[in-house]
Structure 1
Amino acid sequence: MDKENIPQENKRNYLLWALAIFALIAFLIVLGFYIFHFKTLFIIKDSATWGTFGDYVGGTLNPIISFLALIGLLYTIHQQAQEMEATRNELKQSAEQQSRQSEIFNLQQFESTFFSLLEQHNNILEKITNNNNKIIKNKKFNNLKLSIEDESIKEIYNNYLEHEELYSLNQSHIENSNRYIRNNIRQNPELRRYFIILFQILKFISISLSTDRQAITTSFSSNNEQSREILSSLYIDPKEKIYSNILRSLIPNEILKILALNCLTLDNSTDIQNLKTFFNFQGLLNRYNFLEHLQLIFSNDVCPIKNHHEFICLFLLKTIGIDDLQGSFSNNYTPEEITDLFMNSQKNFISILNDKISKLTVNIKNYNMLSSNEQARETETILKKFSNMLSILKSIEN
């Protein structure tokens, strides 16, 4: 027997004994009155007298005993109600405990899968960050030489700024931005693999921990603006934020920049093939404010020629726009702030190019004076490229 029920059981026994004793006392009192009044006990053989005695005892004790029985019945009903309430509470506690155990079990299952996916994520990320390619650790990005033949300058020109005619209209800026993202991000197999695993982890977090799992799951059945808005706006369980923050803490700032570019809303009206906007990915980034710690600070003492990936990143974010990713930045950046950052870097870039063009012009004059025609022609070719770059930068509408 449960220890909590022992006092209740004792209380019930006490009441039953009290009722029995009270009934016995009532009987003795009635019998005492009879003896006191008639001065005799059961020695009368007259049946009529016995009948009168029975009527007396019955008429006196029956109401008392009935009253005591009613009290006992009411008490029994009360006790049964209490027992039923206790049973309901026990069942409720048992259900709550079972629910907590189920939650713990589900969370353990989730964490097992989450950290398994996280391990795969880290392995892929390590390969990307350790690979000597154009994305993160290319020596071109870290080259401190100010050589005219600097490979970084060539890469800016050849990979992005060589098509001067594309910059006559803002629509051309967008088209070239789309092309750049396709060629340098979307078609990179390592990045594509990384973004797939990153998306799957965020999707797994949202489906497993969301309080509105049905709506979340349904939204992933399509990839459009509506599904993005659903993912962005539905209530976020605090546990979702915890695990998404764990994931984000492992991603370096350079990868976050590429992630932002990968998830921009691209213009599908251009003639560039294989373009697709990842609306659901945008929704997940917005949902978890995934880019709120992204750093896009472009210092004036940073040379855009040697660090052109920073300049291009700002240009792409400004040109294509971050309106559909605004939630992912939280209060970190607004479109206006992105534009201001780009304008500052653009002015810095133009200033450096003007300085280099002036030096190249002087060098050409010196080569001509020295009759060094070959060096003069090479320098003129470089000067033409720099002049084209300068005109392109100046043509970009802010």
Structure 2
Amino acid sequence: MNKLRRFLTIFTIVLVIALLIPTAFFIFQFSEMEISKNIQNWGNFADFFGGVFNPILAIANLVIFVKLTLIVAEMEDKSTKQALNQEKKILTSGLMHDSIKELSVVLNSLGEKIIINKEKSDWEILQVQQTVITFGNNYKYLFSNIDNQIVIDDLNEMLNITRKQPYGQQKFANAFNNFLNSKDEFIQSLHKQTLSKLDY
């Protein structure tokens, strides 16, 4: 809007000057003459100013028309870019949300899988660990920061406990609790990044 105001101000000044110059010449040339009572002289007067002012006003109209057309085109282009940008943000956050949802299902199902499959609990932990690593590698383009190291370390700790004999149930319970906490923090950090995408 500031550009438009500046343009209109400059344009008005130029237009006024363009109209004043022939008027000043006319007054300077014919100022000593008395005001005529002859209608033919008034007709000549009208023809002079009509012939001078009409092209100036026609050019002024053309300039205004072109300028307004450019302004409207620029506004439409800006509006289209904003709409596309907003749509991109929504689609990106949707992809991020879906990827987090899939990861959450895997992480949350670990406890149930271990209970059902006690003999192969290390295999279940390995699968989840691989899922977390794969998520970090596959979704770097969506998330600016994927800090999954604590979750991986907690899964690794659980894996070490299950592979030691005798099996330490209390140690495993503590390690599993640590995993639950780190898993929740990890998911929350991903959700925050998803929400931040819509703020930019």
Distance of aligned partners of 1:84 and 1:42 in 2 relative to their CA distance in 1, 3 Å threshold: farther
Q: Which residue of the partner structure matches residue 95 of structure 1?
A: 87
State yes or no: 1:83 paired with 2:75: yes
Select which of 128, 131, 138 maps to 1:238.
Answer: 138
Contact 2:122–2:159 (CA<8 Å) still a contact in 1? no
Distance of aligned partners of 1:28 and 1:37 in 2 relative to their CA distance in 1, 3 Å threshold: same
Q: Which residue of the partner structure matches residue 191 of structure 2?
A: none
Select which of 27, 37, 42 maps to 1:35.
Answer: 27
Q: Which residue of the partner structure matches residue 61 of structure 2?
A: 69
Deviations 1:233-256 (A, max 9, x none): xxxx6249x99x95985656x98x
Q: Which aligned pairs between 1:225-374 and structure 2 lie closer than 5 A?
A: 238-239=138-139, 246=152, 249=156, 251=159
State yes or no: 1:26 paired with 2:35: no
Size of the alignment, in residue pairs?
A: 152
Which runs of at least 4 in structure 1 moved beyond 6 Å after TM superposition? none
Give the superposition deviation at 1:20. Answer: 2.0
Distance of aligned partners of 1:42 and 1:29 in 2 relative to their CA distance in 1, 3 Å threshold: farther
Give the superposition deviation at 1:12. Answer: 0.4
Give the superposition deviation at 1:41. Answer: 7.5
Q: Which residue of the partner structure matches residue 52 of structure 2?
A: 60
Distance of aligned partners of 1:78 and 1:239 in 2 relative to their CA distance in 1, 3 Å threshold: closer
The higher relative CO (CA closer than 8 Å, separation ≥ 6) is in: 2
Q: Which aligned pairs between 1:141-160 and structure 2 lie closer than 5 A?
A: none
CA distance in 1, matches of 2:50, 2:19: 10
Instruction: Give the residue type in structure 2 aligned to 1:108.
Output: I
Select which of 114, 117, 123 maps to 2:109.
Answer: 117
Distance of aligned partners of 1:47 and 1:58 in 2 relative to their CA distance in 1, 3 Å threshold: same
Cα RMSD of the aligned pairs, angstroms, is 3.9
Contact 1:117–1:201 (CA<8 Å) still a contact in 2? no
Distance of aligned partners of 1:40 and 1:23 in 2 relative to their CA distance in 1, 3 Å threshold: farther
Aligned residue for 1:29, secondary structure, equals: helix
CA distance in 2, matches of 1:109, 1:90: 28
Give the superposition deviation at 1:17. Answer: 2.4
Q: After alignment, is 82-91 or 68-77 more displaced?
A: 68-77
Look at both structures and tell me which one has the larger radius of gyration over its CA atoms.
1
In structure 2, stretches of 5+ residues that fail to align are 141-145, 164-200
Give the superposition deviation at 1:55. Answer: 1.4
CA distance in 2, matches of 1:104, 1:119: 25
Select which of 86, 90, 99 maps to 1:107.
Answer: 99
Distance of aligned partners of 1:239 and 1:26 in 2 relative to their CA distance in 1, 3 Å threshold: closer
Contact 1:124–1:194 (CA<8 Å) still a contact in 2? no
In structure 1, stretches of 5+ residues that fail to align are 1-8, 129-190, 210-236, 256-398
Percent of pairs with identical residues? 22
Deviations 1:277-310 (A, max 9, x none): xxxxxxxxxxxxxxxxxxxxxxxxxxxxxxxxxx
Q: After alignment, is 113-122 or 37-46 more displaced?
A: 37-46
Deviations 1:311-352 (A, max 9, x none): xxxxxxxxxxxxxxxxxxxxxxxxxxxxxxxxxxxxxxxxxx
Aligned residue for 1:92, secondary structure, equals: helix
Deviations 1:177-204 (A, max 9, x none): xxxxxxxxxxxxxx5x997x78x979xx
Instruction: Give the residue type in structure 1 aligned to 2:52.
Output: T
Distance of aligned partners of 1:66 and 1:28 in 2 relative to their CA distance in 1, 3 Å threshold: same
TM-score (ref. length: structure 2): 0.58
Q: After alignment, is 21-30 or 81-90 more displaced?
A: 21-30
Larger helix proportion, structure 1 or 2? 2
Contact 1:27–1:61 (CA<8 Å) still a contact in 2? yes
Aligned residue for 1:63, secondary structure, equals: helix
Q: Which residue of the partner structure matches residue 169 of structure 2?
A: none
Q: Which residue of the partner structure matches residue 187 of structure 2?
A: none
